[in-house]
Amino acid sequence: MSVRKKSLLIGINYTGSGHALSGCHQDVENMREFLSYRGYADDPRSQVVLLDLQDTYGTPYFPTGHNIMGAMDWLVSEPGTCCFLHYSGHGGQVEDVDGNRADSTGLDDSIVPVDFEERGQISSTVLHEHLATRLAPRSTLFIIMDCCHSGSAVELPYVYRSDADGNISLLDNLRQGARLVGEASDLIQGGFSMRNVGEAQELFAGATSFFRGLGHMGEQQEDGLDQGEFANQYGRENKVVTMFSGCRDDQTSADARIAGESCGAMTWAFLETMKRESKPTYISALQMTRGLLDQSKYSQIPQLSTGVELDLDNTALIL
């Protein structure tokens, strides 16, 4: 019996704004091709794509905060499913409102919907709850975050980083005593000021109506924790969630041009790794991705974070 696979691909170029990027739409197209090769279907029940293209504006497929949250809830809602999420766009940092950064900078990582100026950014705390905590039983989730300040973008408890020599170190990123690396005073190149950021609390109310109607009749929507409890559970959830992020919390992630094509440097390096290694382990994929970025003169340091401890040397990527 084949495993059910679902994917959510988000590419935001912020077209026509002062924060425009150039490679995020192409990242999505490249990732769609890769996922097709890996056995992911592209029918509406199995794949949702959110792009800020003019011909999709005003439709359910535009990457507003509401649609992003609704699509994430859809992605992780079905038990026994292999889920894949790719985000290419701006990343920022917002004020930590629940205190889990108290001994650090007081900031949470965030992703930046196309309507962030009106509705706010989506913080790492919110992303963790909607992606990890709500991941349905017996399901797995693999995430690629190609954006700035993405090291702790989903606040997973175990974070691994490769140095220039390929050595892997484990960082302490449990919710209690979480520490951000570096200064994190510059939110993003070009600047997303604190006036424009928020916890995106208003996104929840109307987020899921369209995606609940995508033909997923009979699917089960479950909270990952009893009675919606979330606080202080990061280290005990034991959800099989893994994430490759484009850089550390205090770094930016490059919008690149490689082989004449605009793309995100992290997305390119990950896909190039998958092209060269048919069955990479987590450690070999992290090392090769770092090596490709170094060879191409990108200073960003990719990280791997997980919801459970893994034998990195002997565990193949769960895709």
Is 90 known to be catalytic? yes
Nearest-10 Cα torsion for 3, 8, 9, 11: -170
Residue 260 structure tokens: 């004449």
Residue given tokens 């205090």 in the structure block: 250
Residue 119 in tokens: 């509705």
Report how far residue 159's alpha carbon sits from residue 161's, in angstroms, rounded to the nearest whole number. Answer: 7
Picking from 134, 127, 111, the residue whose alpha carbon sits closest to that of residue 63 is: 111
The per-residue DSSP string of 31-42 comes to HHHHHHHTT---
Say which of 90, 128, 130, 149 is annotated catalytic.
Answer: 90
Q: Is 148 a catalytic residue?
A: yes
Q: Amino acid letter at 260?
A: G
Other beta carbons less than 10 A from residue 77's beta carbon: 22
- Name the catalytic one among 24, 82, 83, 148: 148
The SS3 of residue 274 is helix
Q: Rounded to whole angstroms, how far apart are CA atoms 241 and 112?
A: 21
State the pairing for strand pair 168-172/261-264: unpaired
Which active-site residues does the annotation give?
A: 90, 148
